Amino acid sequence: MLAGIPVHERFRTCLTALVANRRLAGRIVLAVMGLAWVTLASASLRQTSITVDEFGHLPAGYNLLTTGDFRYCSLNPPVLNALSAAPLLFMDLPGRGSVGPLGRDASHDFWRNGYAFMDRHRGEYLAAFNVARHVTVAIVALLGVLVFAWARRLVPERPNLAGLLAAALVWLTPDVLAHARLVTTDAGSALSIALTIFAGWALVRSPGFARAALCGLALGVAMLCKFSAVSLYLVLPIQAALLLRGRPEARGPVFKGLAIALGVSLAVINAGYLLEGTGERLDAGPWRSGVMQGAASLLPGATPVPVPASFARAFDQQLADSRSGDPSYLLGERYHGGRWDYFLILLVTKTPVPLLLLAAWGTLLALRQRDGRGRDAVLLLLPGAICLGMFSLLSEKQLGLRQILPGVALFWLWAACALSRQRLDLPRAAVLAGLLAWAGVVIVQQYPGYLSTFNLLAGGSQRGHEVAVDSNLDWGQDLVQLKRYLDSHPTGPIRLLYFGRVDPSLYGIDYVVGDPVEEPELTAVSLSLHGRPYVAYDHGELRGVGPVPWSDPRLGEPIARVGSIRIFRTASALRPTALALP
């Protein structure tokens, strides 16, 4: 059809058609953005060593898929673990199956199976994790597509701007990018919770059986992804009540739809476990958490538990762990229990300055805008607020910004809608483009250390340990960088006090932990061991290490920092004590 037309005329024709078809143009720009983001995430995941929780998540999913035994998912629901492990079925890993029986449920222990998987598959271990991590990359890519499509519906007057801005803000957040490269449940939970909120919004807009069933399906899947999704059972009815103000005629159909969604979600949870153990007696315990113990004391022992036994026991374990009082860290202090300002401080210090400015700009605009402001706030900010309150006030464990990742994604969707509704003249457009470009520069500068990113308000990533550690800074992700440093500074074995569970020798690191024959020249210490005891892997043994004060003169002279690991010229030994394998 274009034969005989000069090339420049063909290009002009195609460009004119593209500009005229704005919907197609938006999708093409989104595809380009998404491809660039996936490329960055895929490249950087190979520079990130296996983190603390990944160590157990992937073996749990792989053992579930190869044995069909849901008890391997003893700390988390099965869906995300199984999805991440699915590509491993095509790798033909040897030695499929479980470790031998070690007493009641001992062989299904989360951490024990992490060590067993590592020992059984040492030759393919790192490759297996790199393959599995691409599943999470795909999940977060879908999260960007979801907020793009959702923002277009929320701001129909400027759909492309709203959608592209929402996707960009989510993808340019360092913590989102950090957890998009890990085999954990945090990023997948952000997608499943956002999908459920979207389905609930669609149900409120136009109630009906089909939308109620889809909402229930999304809710059930969210519960099969991470237990923190239980907050949705509170969020959805509150949202519906607030969004239905002024529409009394719709309340009946909407709340009937929510009741259907509740039933469907329970069916999905049970189906996710193939109905194994559904209806087990409440007195079948023992239960570890106060919630389940309270239920068992108030209700008859013969009361059937309406979810599978493995689901109920893993949920009980999580509830008990959330009240276990593991030490948290903030602003130089180790403490037990929750702090109301923990996540707020992290949001201010870990979000890059350009994104903070965009968040403040969007918030001010939302406060001034009339149309859609109240409904958007209820829809998008309420889930994050409830999630923030739950982990700030009800949990004794505050171990990272990753716990509120779903709320972060929904906040950026809300901010994008507010920013795209304003009158966008040339100066405003230039400022908006400049801030987004600045955020992109930050992402490039921080490569590949997105997990440990802190902004200028915190003094940058080099001073981030003064604010927070654990999964905010040091989650065992920097063995690749340590190996690179040691290759350029050859010294022989290094004493390694490492916050992680994987064997450092898998990365080619010659290390010692305990009492060597000859004292190493260098000592490397993970920043998360400040004020916190931990269990380090030492050539098949586990040894207790830490707490390690940063200023301890026994460490020697500090000479370098490699990501989240500090390097010292050894003065004298820190002598860990041997521990038995759990």
Closest C-alpha among 296, 264, 293, 294 to residue 281: 296
Q: What does the DSSP 8-state code read for residue 93?
A: -
- What pLDDT shows up at residue 101? 40
Whether residue 579 is predicted with pLDDT greater than 80 in this model: the reply is no
Integer CA distances (angstroms), 503 to 114, 348, 376, 499, 579, in order: 11, 35, 47, 11, 16
- What pLDDT shows up at residue 200? 95
Contacts (Cβ under 8 Å, ≥6 apart) of 406:
189, 190, 193, 194, 228, 383, 384, 387
Residues paired with 544 in a beta bridge = 535, 577
Contacts (Cβ under 8 Å, ≥6 apart) of 486:
494, 509, 510
The H or E element containing residue 533 is none
3-state secondary structure of 529: helix
Question: pLDDT band at 372, cuts 50/70/90?
Answer: low
| Mean pLDDT score, 134-139 | 97
- What pLDDT shows up at residue 41? 96
- What pLDDT shows up at residue 57? 95
Whether residue 100 is predicted with pLDDT greater than 60 in this model: the reply is no
pTM, full prediction: 0.91
- What pLDDT shows up at residue 294? 87
The mean of the pLDDT values for the chain is 87
Question: pLDDT band at 376, cuts 50/70/90?
Answer: confident
Q: Compute the distance between CA of residue 527 and CA of residue 401 in angstroms, rounded to an integer.
A: 17
Closest C-alpha among 114, 77, 76 to residue 98: 114
| Mean pLDDT score, 163-177 | 96
Whether residue 148 is predicted with pLDDT greater than 70 in this model: the reply is yes
Q: What does the DSSP 8-state code read for residue 161?
A: H
The structure tokens listed for 414 are 């809300």
**Torsion of the alpha carbons at 437, 442, 448 and 454, rounded to the nearest 10:** -150
Q: Kindly state the percentage of the chain with pLDDT values over 90.
A: 55
Whether residue 44 is predicted with pLDDT greater than 60 in this model: the reply is yes
Q: Which residue's entry shows tokens 């903070």?
A: 356
Main-chain phi, psi angles of 253, to 5 degrees: -60, -40
Contact, 77 vs 225, CB < 8 A?
Answer: yes
- What pLDDT shows up at residue 103? 40
- What pLDDT shows up at residue 577? 45
Closest C-alpha among 190, 197, 408, 226 to residue 322: 226
| Mean pLDDT score, 359-388 | 82
Would you kindly state where each structural domain of the chain is located, as residue ranges? 478-579
Q: What does the DSSP 8-state code read for residue 327?
A: -
Burial class from Cβ neighbours inside 10 Å (0-12, 13-18, 19+) for residue 430 reads exposed
pLDDT digits (tens, 9 = 90+) for 377-435: 888 888 888 888 887 777 777 888 998 999 999 999 999 999 999 888 899 999 999 99
Whether residue 357 is predicted with pLDDT greater than 60 in this model: the reply is yes
Whether residue 102 is predicted with pLDDT greater than 60 in this model: the reply is no
- Mean pLDDT lowest among 133-137, 341-345, 394-398, 505-509: 394-398
Residues paired with 525 in a beta bridge = 497, 566
Task: Give how far the C-alpha of residue 82 lies from the chain's centroid of Cα atoms, to the nearest Å.
Answer: 16
pLDDT digits (tens, 9 = 90+) for 317-328: 888 877 765 678
Q: Compute the distance between CA of residue 57 and CA of residue 68 in angstroms, rounded to an integer.
A: 16
